[in-house]
Chain A
C-alpha cells in the first residue's frame, strides 16, 4: 500500500503560503484531485492550519513574569520540603530509640529499687494516697508478642513519617 506521495511537500508548501487552491498551478490541483494521499493531506492540513491560526490568536497565556515567579516560589517550597524529609526521618528514629531505651531501662531496674522510687515520689504528696502499681509489674505483665509488635511499630514509625512528608 502506498503511504506517501512525492507531491506532499508541494501541497504543504502551497497550504502554508496560503496559495491553495486559488493561487497554485492547475497541475497541482489536478494532481490533488486524482491522488487520495494528497487529497487527505489537503483536507487535514488545511483544517489544522486554520484551527492553529485561530487558537494561536485567541490564546490568553499568563505573562512570562508571573509564570517565572510562580515557578520560583514553587521550586523553593519543594526544595524546603525535600530538605525537611531527612530531618523528619532522623527525628522519628530518635524518638523510637528514646522510647526503646526507656522501656528497656525500666525492665532492667530491680523491683525493690522501683518500689523505693515509688515511695520516694509518693513522699512529695503525703496527703494523697493513690494505689500506683509497680512499673516493673506493668511491663512484666505485657506479653512478649505485644512488645515485639510495639517494637516493630516504633522502628517503622520513622519510615512512615518520611513517606508522609514526602507525599505532601
Chain B
C-alpha cells in the first residue's frame, strides 16, 4: 500500500463531501475504534499473512466491519468482530494460495532502529519465530497469536477462528507443543551451528 499524502486526504474529503452517510457508525466513533484497534489488528494480520498482505487486509477488514452494520454490545464485541472478519479474510487468502511470508529484517521506516534493543538479535529471534510459525497450520497460528500475543479468552478465540469453545484448550495445547518443539529444534540448530564456527 502506498503512503497517503495530505493531498490524497484532501481529495478524498472533497469527493466524499456532501454525500449521505452510508454506514451506521459515525466517523468519530469509527476513528476512535480504529485508533484503539488498528495496530493490534495489523500485527495479527501480519503474523498470519505477512506484512504486505496485512496492509490490504487491514483496510478490507474495517470496510467489511462498517458494511456489516452489526449491533455491538461492547468494545470487546467490536474487537472480536474485527478479528473474526480479519481471520476470515486471511483464510480466504490461504484458500487462494496466498501464504504467509517471512517477517522481513528491519529496513527503512517500517523497521526503524530502536536504541534500546539489540537490533540484530531481535531480528534473528523474529525471523526464527516466523520460520517456526510457518510449520503450523493457519488456524494454529491464529489461535496461538490470539491466546498469547493478544490475550484473548478461549471463548473469543473460539468465535474468532470458528471452533467450539470446548475444543480450544486441546487445540491450543497441541499447537503450543508443536511450536515449542520447532523453536527448541531451531535453537539447538543455531547453537550447533555456532559451535561448528
Instruction: Using CB atoms and an 8 Å cutoff, list the residues of chain A in contact with chain B.
Output: 3-4, 12, 16, 37, 39-41, 43-45, 47-52, 54-76, 79
Beyond A63-B9, A69-B9, whether A74 also contacts B63 by CB under 8 A is yes
Cα of A165 to Cα of B92 in the assembled complex, Å? 23
- What size tier do the contact residues of chain B reach? 35 or more
Q: A22 CB to closest chain B CB, in angstroms? A: 17
Stretch at the interface among B94-102, B106-114, B156-164, B188-196: B106-114
B1-38 interface (Cβ within 8 A of A): 1, 4, 8-9, 12-13, 15-16, 19, 22-23, 27, 30-31, 34-35, 38
- Chain A residue contacts of B125, Cβ below 8 A: 47, 50-51
Beyond A4-B173, A59-B46, A64-B34, whether A70 also contacts B109 by CB under 8 A is no
Beyond A44-B144, A73-B12, whether A60 also contacts B110 by CB under 8 A is yes
What residue in chain B is nearest A47 (Cβ atoms)? B129
Beyond A40-B180, A43-B180, whether A71 also contacts B63 by CB under 8 A is yes
Q: Does B183 contact A (CB under 8 A)?
A: yes
What residue in chain B is nearest A78 (Cβ atoms)? B67
B37-93 interface (Cβ within 8 A of A): 38-40, 42-43, 46-47, 58-59, 62-63, 66-67
- Chain A residue contacts of B16, Cβ below 8 A: 69, 72-73, 76
Q: Is the CB of A39 within 8 A of B169?
A: no
- Tally A-B pairs: CB < 8 A: 129
Question: Could you list 26 examples of A-B contacts with CB < 8 Å?
Answer: A4-B169, A4-B173, A43-B183, A43-B184, A47-B125, A47-B129, A48-B145, A50-B125, A51-B149, A55-B46, A55-B47, A55-B103, A57-B114, A58-B106, A60-B109, A60-B110, A65-B9, A67-B38, A67-B58, A67-B59, A71-B62, A72-B22, A74-B63, A75-B66, A75-B67, A79-B22
Q: A74-B63, A75-B67 are in contact. List 17 more A-B contacts (CB 8 A).
A: A40-B177, A41-B176, A43-B180, A44-B179, A49-B148, A51-B129, A51-B149, A52-B43, A56-B40, A59-B38, A59-B42, A60-B109, A62-B1, A63-B9, A64-B38, A66-B4, A67-B59
Instruction: Using CB atoms and an 8 Å cutoff, list the residues of chain B in contact with chain A.
Output: 1, 4, 8-9, 12-13, 15-16, 19, 22-23, 27, 30-31, 34-35, 38-40, 42-43, 46-47, 58-59, 62-63, 66-67, 103, 106, 109-112, 114, 117, 122, 125-126, 129, 132, 144-145, 148-151, 169-170, 173, 176-177, 179-180, 183-184
Cα of A11 to Cα of B129 in the assembled complex, Å? 20
Beyond A49-B148, A61-B42, whether A71 also contacts B66 by CB under 8 A is yes
Q: B168 CB to closest chain A CB, in angstroms? A: 11
What residue in chain B is nearest A72 (Cβ atoms)? B16
- Chain B residue contacts of A65, Cβ below 8 A: 9, 13, 31
Cα of A150 to Cα of B74 in the assembled complex, Å? 58
Q: B103 CB to closest chain A CB, in angstroms? A: 8
- Chain A residue contacts of B170, Cβ below 8 A: 3
